[in-house]
Amino acid sequence: MIKKIFAWWDSTTYGTSFTLFRKGAKQIGTDEQGNRYFEEGGKPSFPDGRRRRWVLYHGVAEPSRVPPDWHGWLHHTFAEPPTIDPLLRQKFEKDHLPNMTGTALAYHPKGSLYKTGDTLEKGLGLDYEPWSPGD
């Protein structure tokens, strides 16, 4: 129970649940990662008639886990949610990946000190000569 009150980074809190209830929010959809998307009901919050929208993360609250189509809907770029009007994907587009910085799956370019394997044995990174003041 204490975790639900304060742990905003791990799913939803009682405060968020109360706000959704108070605003009459309706669940609009769910993405492939289990994140749930809501839109307020009743009177719009914004002067131009837009309604407030929320995402409740499934697990860790990491904004890069929101796919592009849902991101556009959350920010009012798209009027209709992806459940009604999905984005057309081009064949060259890759699947959405969250930010992997700080994890074992993070990208490390060729020659990076974090690159694992035998990169130094293959001759990568050996062309670097540090400057010294006596040269």
pLDDT tens for each residue of 44-92: 888 898 999 999 988 888 888 899 999 999 999 999 999 999 888 899 9
Q: Which of 4-8, 25-29, 60-64, 69-73 has the lowest mean pLDDT?
A: 4-8
* Residue percentage of the chain with pLDDT more than 70: 80
Chain length of the chain: 135
What value does the mean pLDDT take over residues 104-116?
76
What value does the mean pLDDT take over residues 105-118?
72
Evaluate if residue 116 carries a pLDDT over 70.
no
- Of 95 and 110, the structure prediction assigns the larger pLDDT to 95
- Of 28 and 100, the structure prediction assigns the larger pLDDT to 28
How are strands ordered across the β-sheet holding 36-39? 26-30, 36-39, 53-56
Model pTM above 0.75: no
Token pair in block for residue 89: 């994907």
Evaluate if residue 21 carries a pLDDT over 80.
yes
Long-range contacts of 23-27 (CB under 8 A, 24+ apart): 23/52, 25/54
Distances (CA, A) of 133 to 125, 126, 127, 130: 22, 21, 19, 10
